[in-house]
Amino acid sequence: MRAALNGSKRKGTGLELSRWTSAPPRREVPALLAAYAEMPWLGTIVDTVGDAFAGVTWRAFQRRDPTTRKALVDVSLRRACGDERRGRLKALVDVAGAVELPDHPLLRLLADPNDYMTGRDFAKLFCTHYDLTGEFFAVVEELAG
């Protein structure tokens, strides 16, 4: 977004979320959105959830053993908060033999999706569309440079 504001050429990540937005919705999406228009309080709820989702700091982990394909999963993390959550996540990563990646193309893409949108804007847009319609599509283009 900074590049769009000051006119400078964007370095980019090699990946960019496309500005193409004409994906056809499911057949029932217009009816869903019309129903939501009759419930003005729903906009407040979706906006609040979207703001909370957009505030998430994304992290990426990689297993030290590349032959292991099992995902890192601990459903108790969903209920944990604060120090308890950090402790459980650290234990999960230690047991699984994973290391946090300080830099990853997906993290860069989520932080700076394109010239016209911040990472926070993209996350809120994703959450809002998903909450209202039950689906979301993003086109990722691979760019040279």
Q: Where are the alpha helices (DSSP H) in the chain?
A: 2-6, 29-37, 40-54, 82-96, 105-111, 119-133
For the stretch 32-48, pLDDT in tens is 777 777 887 888 888 89
H-helix or E-strand containing 17?
strand 15-17
* The one-letter amino acid at 27: R
Can you read off the two tokens belonging to residue 77? 């993390």
Mean pLDDT confidence for 112-124 = 89
Q: What's the confidence (pLDDT) of residue 120?
A: 93
Q: What is the pLDDT of residues 67-107, one digit of tens each?
A: 877 777 777 777 888 898 888 888 888 887 888 888 888 88
Give just the sign of the alpha carbon dihedral 45, 47, 50, 56. negative
Question: Could you tell me the pTM of the whole model?
Answer: 0.65
